[in-house]
Every structure is written in structure tokens, then in C-alpha cells.
A = this chain, B = another copy of it.
Amino acid sequence: MLKFRNESPVIPRDCQSCPIREATVCRALADGRIDVLQDFKLGDRILPAHSHLYRPGDRPAELYNLLDGWIALYRILEDGTRQILQVVLPGAFIGYQPSLEGPMLHGAECVTDVSVCVFPRKAFPDLLEKYPAVARRVVWLIAQDLMEAQDHLTNVGGRPGIERVAHFLLHIYLRMRQNHPADREDTLELPLTQELIADALGMTPVYVNRILRQLRERGVVMLRNRTLWIMDLEGLGRLAEIPSLDAVEP
């Protein structure tokens, strides 16, 4: 089977009307100066589900803002095990790492069809240098990622199966609600396979399935046909042990 090559056409789009202007790095620049980023960006790109924005070891020439769709960041171990590091939602900034020129230490796979906004990687340090507000914003974004990674680690390292899955689901639910307030409060479209959830949580798909059954039988949540039904938000929170999910932005 052929894989799509990683070079769909780049389609320029107007920053003014961007749906995620108030998220990712772009939030750093107010109305008057959004043209700075408009000039800086290379354009937009559309990628099909299951394609890879980049793979571990690649040296992409770009950085990305996720405009639409879901992406999973992952690592692969030698025995083939895949660890999902982060489930990335629209409005995130992707591809930054300590060594900008070095090979990527993780990969980014499209879970759904995806559109991204593309920045040139090489010129990025200059942008940070020139616009302290952008630098401040990037610091905040990465610190946020770090916090989430530590949260994820705590979940995988410290919680038994049911609570681990509960935490994962609630965490995504809250993140979605935060930035993408939607029609129904108790339902959420969740394009994740059970295998992906398993790889995120360090479990097997079979066991994830059994835990989802437990959660359904206990009347907590129900996951069917890529749709998550929250039957008992209270109870889910008790299992997941999430007090809240706020962080004041600068």
C-alpha cells in the first residue's frame, strides 16, 4: 500500500480570519501586528488521516500550528512498541525541540484529516529574537506541554487501569471543551482507536477494551463509534482525580 508523501500543496491563508488566532504562538501579536506572522508563515497544508507530518529522525524544515484535526506525537522503541506522548488538538504549536536542526526525537501522525499552518524552522530563532512577546508566548506554550507531559507521566506511572483510562478521557474532554465549546455538553467526538489509547497509556488494546466495558457497565462513560458519551461526569472526575484544569495565560 502506498503512503502519501509528505508534501501536499501549501495553500496560503489569511491570518486575519484564522480560527485559532487566539491560540498557539499567534496570540502573542495583537490585531495591528498580526501581519508579522502573516509574512512569516509559508502557508497552510492539508494532510490525510494516517499520514505523518514528520517521523522520528526526520529533519523537517518547518514548524507547525495545528489548525484543524487531531495529531498524535509518538516514539517507537526497538521492539516496535509505540508510545503516544501527546494527543494534539487544534491550536497547538508543533515541532519545536531543543535542537532545532537535529533529527526529530519523536514523530507526528495525523489521527484524522488535518490542516496545519507552516512556519519556516530556520528563521524561527530570529523571530523570537525580534519579538519578545512571541518568545514569551513560546516559553509559555512549551512550559504548558511540559506540565501536560508530567501529568501524563503521573497517570501512566501511578494509576491502575480504570483510573488511568478515566483520567485520559476526562483530560481530553476538558481540553476540548476549553477551546472548542460545542453543541452538547455530555457528548464528544473522539476519533481515537482503542489501540491508540492503549499506546498512550502503556496498556494493551484488549485490556483497554475491557476497561471501557467496565466504565460502561458502571454507568460512567460510553465510547462507541468514535463518540464519547459522558454518563456521569461527577463519577468520572472522582475516578480520574482531576481537581480542575486551569492555567492563567500571561
Number of copies: 2
Interface centre among A82, A136, A146 (most CB of B within 10 A): A146
CB of A136 within 8 A of CB of B128, answer yes
Write the chain B residue with the least CB distance to A248: B99
CB < 8 Å: which of B101, B136, B144, B248 contacts A129? B136
Please measure, in the bound complex, the distance between the C-alpha atom of A153 and the C-alpha atom of B142, giving whole angstroms. 17
CA distance A206 to B96 in the complex (A): 39
Is there contact, CB below 8 Å, between B83 and A153? yes
- Return chain B residues, CB-CB under 8 Å to A85: 150, 153-154
Give Cα A83–Cα B151 distance, bound, in whole angstroms.
10
**Is there a chain B Cβ closer than 8 Å to A97's Cβ?**
yes
Q: Flag if B102 contacts A247 (CB, 8 Å).
A: yes
24 interchain pairs (CB within 8 A)? A77-B154, A77-B159, A77-B241, A78-B241, A81-B159, A83-B153, A83-B157, A85-B153, A98-B140, A98-B143, A99-B247, A99-B248, A100-B250, A102-B247, A102-B248, A105-B150, A125-B136, A129-B136, A139-B139, A142-B142, A149-B149, A149-B150, A149-B153, A153-B156
* A158 interface residue (CB < 8 Å to B): yes
Q: Verify B139–A135 contact, CB threshold 8 A.
A: yes
Chain A residues bordering chain B, tally (CB within 8 A)? 48
**Are B143 and A96 in touch, CB under 8 angstroms?**
yes
Asked if A52 is an interface residue, CB under 8 A from chain B, the answer is no
> Contact at A150–B75, with CB atoms within 8 Å?
yes
The answer to whether B147 touches A98 (Cβ under 8 A) is yes
Is A28 an interface residue, CB under 8 A from the partner? no
How far is it, in angstroms, between the C-alpha of A99 and the C-alpha of B143 when the chains are bound? 9
Q: Does A232 contact B (CB under 8 A)?
A: no
Q: A24–B29 Cα gap in the complex (Å)?
A: 29
- A12 at interface, CB cutoff 8 A: no
Q: CB within 8 A of A201: which of B135, B144, B157?
A: B157
Extra contacts besides A75-B150, A83-B158 (7): CB < 8 Å:
A77-B154, A77-B241, A97-B146, A135-B136, A146-B146, A153-B156, A156-B202
Contact A75 B132 (CB under 8 A): no
Chain A residues 77-94 with CB under 8 Å of chain B are 77-78, 81-83, 85
Q: Mark A178-204, 1 if CB is under 8 A from B, else 0.
A: 000000000000000000000011100
Binary contact readout A106-127 vs B (1 if CB under 8 angstroms, 0 otherwise): 1000000000000000000100
